Amino acid sequence: MELEDLIKKFKEYSTEDTTKLEYAWQFSLEAHMDQKRASGEIYFIHCAAVAEILVDFKMDLETIAAGLMHDVLEDTTVSHEIFKKEFGSEIYELVVGVTKIETLKFSSRDEAQAENWRKMILATAKDIRVIVIKLADRLHNMRTLNFLTKEKQLEISHETLSLYAPLAQRLGIFHLKSELEDLSFKYLHPDEYQNLLAKVQLRFAKREKLLEEFKQGVEKHLGGTQIPHRVLSRAKNLYSIYRKMLKQNLPFEDIQDALGIRIITDNVINCYALLGTVHSIFKPVIGSFTDYIAVPKMNLYQSLHTSVMAPSGEIIEIQIRTEEMHHTSEYGIAAHWRYKLGESGADHHLDEKLNWLRQWMEWLQDLSSPREFIESFKTDLELDQIFIFTPRGDVKPLPVGSNPLDFAYAIHSDIGDACIGAKVNNKMVKLDCELKSGDICEIITRRNSAPKKDWLGIVKTAGARSHIRKYLREHGELKD
């Protein structure tokens, strides 16, 4: 990619002056002048590729400049003082954040690895843009992994699959998560990857005609509604099919890998109107409807999900969402960084949208042992969620495996602290009883009741554990 192309793409969504970006390009090019990549190419090609990925995410100018220079402090002779003087503290802090992550090793299986995860998340907590740059860096490295030794390929792929792909998913950057997973899968299980790729391509070729017919059928019926919409077909992520095969212990041929399409429209009211239209044309599959618009996932994801039966007997998964929701589902947290200039771009709800992430970071900082930190981190990375209702009909999303104590703390820390029992669907249950999506959970509290030490072994979520530890510490029942 050339500088002119980068500037052109950036100007498609931002009105910021690009002088600093042009200078960052030149500065990085000169700093890395004598370095080569494993492929034999000049090193700067990697820096430009990272910047291009960040422009695709529509990130702000500071992030893209930091992406261009993310290896300058670590890999060149440029001093911290000179860098800060040339580019100011905001870009400097972003590059320092990425450099700190660069020096951490995640491939070992010991306490040191857990401590490194903690350091990485805390570096991210200061400025979420640090991890977005790191993910862009990792994506380009995975795309060019074929130039490294087999041993290095396996080490980097394992780290990508166990840390970076789940993190991309937790941040809602699905488009990145899928590519990271598939690239890791290609190196970790090359035979299975090639085999599955061939089968998926064959199946897709056969189904493309069916998908086209279905899209035309939808278009024909929606044409008369005057509702603005576009219909996209959805490619399946290979690694998710592979995981499904392992989980269900089934060969590819038996996997109910439904065809997927997305219908994108302009506003929420039209999402529901389109859902009604689709259900009036095609027979809905009972129990397949989920409303993530009314109850968004923890990572801001919103869509209506339904499955219908095509005239051919095939099941088709449909997601209906607005353009903004679609952008969020592709780019997640990155979609909410708005350009500082141009009021049309300002996102007034950014703080609210990032609040869950900040709170999550705070909870994780409170955990004492690195191992405990990792366990909580992994639980909270799980994106399989259950939705639990209060008796008044309020709903709380929780990770799979959560129990009434987690639910109590999700409502409010005071409710959690005073909890003495719980009813699920009107029946008394133990506090460690596993909740299922759709359960109505009533928390029974008593004034002056207090958290017990053994609760730390029961709760699954970082938030609940953090509140319990805080209370026990304040009351001298827990040493740091």
**Range list for CATH 3.30.460.10 in the chain:** 190-333
Pick out the chain residues at pLDDT < 50: 338-346, 348
357-362 — which CB contacts under 8 Å span 24+ positions? 357/128, 357/171, 357/333, 358/125, 359/463, 360/462, 360/463, 361/121, 361/122, 361/124, 361/125, 362/125, 362/466
Q: Which position among 74, 291, 324, 432 bears the catalytic label? A: 74
Element at 261 (helix H, strand E) = strand 259-265
C-alpha closest to that of 382 among 361, 401, 396: 401
> Do residues 96 and 73 lie in contact, with contact meaning Cβ atoms separated by under 8 Å?
yes
Tokens of 150: 């087999």
Q: Is 414 a catalytic residue?
A: no
Q: Where are the beta strands (DSSP E) in 88-245?
A: 229-233
Q: Is 257 a catalytic residue?
A: no
Q: Which position among 75, 366, 382, 439 bears the catalytic label? A: 75
Instruction: Give the class (CATH, top level) of 190-333.
Output: alpha beta
Looking at domain 3-188, what is its CATH homologous superfamily?
Hypothetical protein af1432 (1.10.3210.10)
CA distance 319 to 233: 10
Which backbone phi and psi does 172 adopt, to 5 degrees?
A: 80, 15
C-alpha closest to that of 377 among 308, 465, 307, 289: 465
CA distance 465 to 470: 9
C-alpha closest to that of 435 among 408, 463, 412, 457: 408
What distance, in Å, lies between the first and last C-alpha atoms of the chain?
51
- Kindly indicate whether the domain formed by 351-474 is annotated with CATH number 3.10.20.30: yes
Q: What is the pTM of this model?
A: 0.73
**Range list for CATH 3.10.20.30 in the chain:** 351-474
**Range list for CATH 1.10.3210.10 in the chain:** 3-188
- SS3 of the chain: helix, strand, coil, percent, to 5: 60, 10, 30
**pLDDT value of position 370:** 59
Tokens of 257: 């890998």
